[in-house]
Chains A and B, each alone.
Chain A
């Protein structure tokens, strides 16, 4: 009987909740600390509005929005990955919002803060950097790294963790930065060396900071706020920006066909206002505002991309990044994520052989290094229109998919054979 009554009460609550007109539903991939701070501040300012936060992973969030009928959709989409917004915009699921961006610059470095077509807005900035566990480095007697290139050093073998570009938009941007900074061929060599030193390629970008803060991994490639927030929460970790890094916006956009478009606009405007931007500075959130004025109230030592505390040396070319996005993601998975065990073995064998040689040259070892650390796609091939088109096509037509699978199969088996051969060659070096 009691249970029955509970059902009725709950059901009534559900229906009553749906009847309220001023609910603003926000689909987001951001953690609770951030969303609850915004919910509290926003509802205090606009007591008639009710903010409903729906936390979903980025891809679940897209599917959730896409599968709802127009007119009944959620109001706001709020997430890091720019590609998620591109997908939504391509599916006509975003609405252009007209909010004056007073005080927010158009660009950070050479990267536009807001969508040039106006479908979504940059709401915070994120830079990629290195986070390490101080206890772990001490126990293993490792020096703290400063640059991406440090992670290729043999001392860090088995101590690094990274996510995959296909799983996390920010990881994709980091590796893209390396590719643009070093050039395609040298960039892949560096990425493969970092991959060979990695203990794991995690499925979610959060897996990296999580593993570093609990001491499973020594060093991770992470987005700044994970590192800064972990330091603020008292974990024995540290974080630095390397000198070559990408700073990119996390975005917010209004969903087309929502129940309450006015509410969406109100909330987005709030997040971009000085008041909304300052919420980002709270230690447990630790994100970089897009509004330079908001840094006035930041604690001492807070990184500021607008005054040169963090430098973005690379002139990031977002059109180039966009053009080979899916090739880079897929290539990384085929030769690193899915072949991690083999790549680790090759890297270990080469590093051991280097030690045995003690500075002497060896043709065999050079060949082993070339085999293990060269991507199966050359710089020239990476510009091939046909290749790019095969991976960019979103339609599932048979021929394209067969072609794509075939190429992936070639990369995968070539990588596997190369790693095995590299191990043989390196082991033969006396």
Chain B
């Protein structure tokens, strides 16, 4: 049974990920007459620009993880550990940066933090100097950390919730408290969530294309690959060599993260009822905590505030605030593009659903079975993180050329099913990380107990494993849903008609022209609101579930 499932997943990954990518990147290893060659790889290493790009990418990814951690760890810790009004709101708002497509966020960030952005105009008026927030590698780090820290926040918050309160109590009984308690007990126990989040941030930033391009930084690997692959009229194998190296490097980074966690035990026995004790803060501490969180949220939500302003105004140019309030942009969007909203919900909902099903299954196979070669599933799925959307898009068009859907005369690549498949494959790593972290924290003896009581394997999974993993699965669903909703590069390649296109395509389209900036921002705001509501609802669901758990415990 398990073997059949594993094979089915493997086959899915091969058909919809490995083959399409291979059909494109084989150029990296082919010589002019079609034979195999490593000459392009050798050439790659001889180009000084490439070595420089590699170090730049590495530096930016590493620094982004540090800064994202500085934002996310306190947010997660405060909201989970302390009795805190609005903890739910903080966690929902904290996810919002992910919903903003980087190319939209960058437009707003330029207007607020750019060379002639609001902040610098004010600084210049008052003090006569300005700060280049958005220039060079540091600009990329600034934008990337603000954009991707939610990966750490989401995964760490789930991990913290799953810690057995008894561990903390024992430590306190033995005389530990304060920062030492956090450093020695709480954080190490939550490490799977942190590592899952941090490794995602690292790989995502390493592979991210949109931000450096919008900020005009081209000396990094992803922009170099993109610029070479999309040059009109030239088939440049070096671009594909970069793609291959990025895939290898990303998988290696995730493998390293797995090694860090290996050989240690993070599982705790008790669940739900006795999670970490919630504490109260003193009035002073409360004020300080709120002020700090407020400041961080203001920074983090600045792109959203900017987009909101653009969507309601006529002109914003070289001024602190925009001018001329109008509702016309929303009218335009509802008139022209309302179908795109339904399309996004449908495609991304389906993709996220497939993702948590696949993610749970792969996590179970890897952590609970001894199937030979099971790690291959993880590595293959994670490779998708590093595949540029353009490459996957071209790969789909090439691999499934002429393949028609059964019972119709529509080609697979001309239907929206291709979009759902591409989203599923591209966002699977997110769901997989969350599911793996959730299962790592669950002690195997809970399953053994169920089996000892006579439950069959399948029943154990259904009644014990999946409910206990619920938090992680939900986090996985949310991250894959919202990141799929803002996916652009594969979307542009695979959208075969305007009527079937999702919102991200619509936003991109509007932002292609000067008069379209307002409607584009309006559509962006609608996207943020819809996905934000969804995230809030799922957090509510999670909280209701854990209170219900506590209730049950009290009743018994």
Residues of A within 8 A of B (CB): 3, 6-7, 10, 13-15, 17-19, 25, 31-33, 36, 52-60, 62-64, 67-69, 72, 81, 83-84, 86-87, 133, 135-136, 139, 166-167, 169, 199-203, 206-207, 209-211, 213-217, 226, 229-230, 233-237, 284, 326, 329, 333-334, 337-338, 341, 394-402, 405-406, 408-409, 412-413
Contact = CB atoms under 8 A, between A and B. Distances in A.
27 contacts: A14-B410, A18-B414, A55-B512, A59-B232, A60-B230, A67-B394, A69-B411, A133-B318, A199-B115, A201-B218, A203-B216, A206-B513, A209-B514, A214-B316, A214-B317, A215-B318, A216-B115, A217-B115, A341-B136, A394-B233, A394-B234, A396-B236, A397-B31, A402-B39, A405-B47, A406-B46, A409-B46
A84 B513 contact: no
Contacts of A17: 497, 499
Given A55-B509, A338-B49, A412-B48, A63 B492 contact: no
Interface of A is mostly: helix
A67 B401 contact: yes
B72 to A, nearest CB: 29
A397 B43 contact: no
Contacts of B314: 234
Interface in B488-510: 492-493, 495-500, 509-510
A409 to B, nearest CB: 5
Interface residues of B, number: 77
B204 interface: no
Given A136-B116, A166-B231, A31 B516 contact: yes
A398 B401 contact: no
A400 B514 contact: no
B408 interface: yes
Contact of A405 (B43, B411, B497): B43
B513 A229 contact: yes
Contacts of A329: 231
Contacts, number: 208
Given A401-B40, A413-B48, A14 B514 contact: no
Given A81-B232, A234-B315, A396-B235, A33 B513 contact: yes
A413 B390 CA distance: 30
Contacts of A215: 116, 317-319
A206 B48 contact: no
B232 A62 contact: yes
Given A67-B401, A402-B39, 7 more contacts: A18-B414, A135-B319, A203-B213, A216-B110, A236-B315, A405-B43, A412-B49
Most chain B C-beta atoms within 10 Å of own C-beta, residue among A62, A199, A396, A413 = A396
B111 A10 contact: no
A396 B315 contact: no
B541 interface: no
Contacts of A18: 408-410, 414
A69 B411 CA distance: 10
Interface in B407-452: 408-411, 413-416
B280 interface: no
Task: Kindly list the 9 A-B residue pairs having the minimum CB-CB distance in the complex, ordered from nearest.
Answer: A397-B32, A215-B318, A31-B513, A67-B397, A135-B318, A59-B230, A200-B216, A215-B116, A87-B233
B143 to A, nearest CB: 14
Contacts of A214: 107, 110-111, 116, 316-318
Interface of B: 27, 30-33, 37, 39-40, 43, 46-49, 107, 110-111, 114-117, 136, 213-214, 216, 218-219, 223, 227, 230-238, 314-319, 336, 342, 346, 349, 390, 393-394, 397-398, 401-402, 408-411, 413-416, 492-493, 495-500, 509-510, 512-516
B216 A83 contact: no
A87 B111 contact: no
B512 A206 contact: yes
Given A83-B233, A394-B234, A54 B46 contact: no
Given A133-B318, A230-B514, A396 B230 contact: no
B32 A400 contact: yes
B47 to A, nearest CB: 5
A326 B234 contact: yes
Contacts of A229: 513-515
B512 A54 contact: no
Nearest to B410: A18
A234 to B, nearest CB: 6
B410 A139 contact: no
B39 A398 contact: yes
Given A6-B346, A17-B497, A216 B218 contact: no
A14 B43 contact: no
A216 B116 contact: yes
Nearest to B404: A72
Nearest to A283: B515
Nearest to B403: A69
B315 to A, nearest CB: 6
A54 to B, nearest CB: 7
A375 B515 CA distance: 39
Contact of B47 (A72, A136, A409): A409
Contacts of A3: 346, 349
Nearest to A169: B232
Nearest to A218: B116
A332 to B, nearest CB: 12
B226 to A, nearest CB: 8
A343 to B, nearest CB: 13
A408 B219 CA distance: 15
Contacts of B234: 326, 394
A54 B413 CA distance: 14
A329 B230 CA distance: 14
A402 B37 CA distance: 12
B31 A398 contact: yes
B128 to A, nearest CB: 13
Contact of A408 (B47, B319, B394): B47
A83 B500 contact: no
Contacts of A235: 315, 317, 514
A401 B237 contact: yes
A396 B237 contact: yes
Contact of A396 (B30, B319, B513): B30
Given A235-B317, A397-B33, A412-B49, A201 B216 contact: yes
Nearest to B508: A55
Given A18-B409, A398-B31, A226 B514 contact: yes
A54 B497 contact: yes
A52 B497 contact: yes
Contacts of B346: 3, 6-7, 10
Contacts of A230: 514
B78 to A, nearest CB: 36
A213 B514 contact: yes
Contacts of B512: 31-32, 55, 206
A229 B216 CA distance: 24
Contacts of A397: 31-33
* Residue of A52, A57, A206, A334 with most partner-chain B CB within 10 A: A57
Contacts of A60: 230, 390, 393, 492-493
Contact of B516 (A13, A32, A139): A32
B37 A398 contact: yes
A303 to B, nearest CB: 18
